[in-house]
Amino acid sequence: MVAVSGGVDSGVVAALCARALGPKRVLCLRMPERDAGDESSRLALELARALGAPTVEEPITDVLAALGCYRRRDEAIREVFPEYEPGWRHKLVRSEPTGGVIFFALVVERPDGTQERRRMPPDAYRALISATNMKQRVRKLLEYTWADRLGYAVVGTANLLEHDQGFFVKGGDGLADVKPIARLYKSEVYALARALGLPDAIAGRAPTTETFSLPQGQDEFYFGHPPERMDLLIHGRDSGVPAAELAASAGIGAEDVEIAYGEIDRRRVATEYLHAPPVILDPGA
């Protein structure tokens, strides 16, 4: 059971499952949502057809609306932009990597197309993230509903960058029974997509967060660098490559590599709890 978004990660995971188990034993679950865009939905269907795997569509917009996801999100945005109207496109962006503190700003696009950016106070940030995380958690609820119904395992789609750096929602996209590509760099996932013969539109698709209504890359929300550079930075960090040596291939200065190394370490520490099993207290201790 793989939730397919139309992106390269879930495409590769679904294709690997189809190879390992036979396409008839893999359910491609499509869960369109109004902020994710029609193209994702179309590509997810194209993938399932290309694999010859059964596919089911479970639109989640109405469920999210009933749970108050969009209302909570809009209330959080109004804490920063009181004049915000539902329907204005928006996204969350992080500060540039400077080696200092990372903070977030909200960008909204008014109906006339002008964009404005304001720093997000932590309370509004938490309100926004807790609301948008409902999307990943509702998706996971439906994945396990289908897994229970069919007696299947839920296969997760996190790649190395996301898994290692904690870029997932606990109890949302972080939850799975098997995570086949969690040790694969993004560049390896792209290579695998080509090798597995995924449709070009999926195999070459840039990663997006699919969480906010303005187009948003994972780099501007979380990593601070595009995925191909993040691959190099993580590999360099873990292989002990000096910053000055990595700088040329990463296309940034040695100082920026050092800053990125620091961020990689800090994200690992900060997101450790996302991977951790619950703390169990022993009443006898």
Partner 1 sequence: MTDVAGDVGRELRSFIEENYLYLHPDVELGEDDDLLGLGILDSLAFIELVEEIQSRYGIAVQDIEITEENFGSLRAMTRFVESRRAS
Which residues contribute to the site for partner 1 (CB under 8 A)?
A: 95, 100-103, 105, 119, 121-123, 125-126, 270
Shortest Å distance, C-beta 255 to partner 1: 16
Shortest Å distance, C-beta 152 to partner 1: 37
Q: Which is nearer to partner 1, 66 or 276 (CB)?
A: 276
Measured between alpha carbons, how far apart are the two ends of the chain, in Å? 41
- Alpha-carbon distance of 61 to 126, in angstroms, equals 21
Q: Which is nearer to partner 1, 105 or 141 (CB)?
A: 105
Shortest Å distance, C-beta 251 to partner 1: 25
Is the CB of residue 100 less than 8 Å from the CB of residue 262? no
Q: Which is nearer to partner 1, 105 or 201 (CB)?
A: 105
Is the CB of residue 44 less than 8 Å from the CB of residue 230? no
| C-alpha triplet 6, 8, 11: angle, nearest 5° | 70
- Alpha-carbon distance of 235 to 40, in angstroms, equals 30
Shortest Å distance, C-beta 261 to partner 1: 16
80: Cα separation from own chain's centroid:
24
Is the CB of residue 174 less than 8 Å from the CB of residue 135? no
Q: Which is nearer to partner 1, 119 or 183 (CB)?
A: 119
Shortest Å distance, C-beta 275 to partner 1: 17
Side-chain half-sphere exposure of 200, counting CA atoms within 13 A:
0
Q: Which is nearer to partner 1, 99 or 242 (CB)?
A: 99
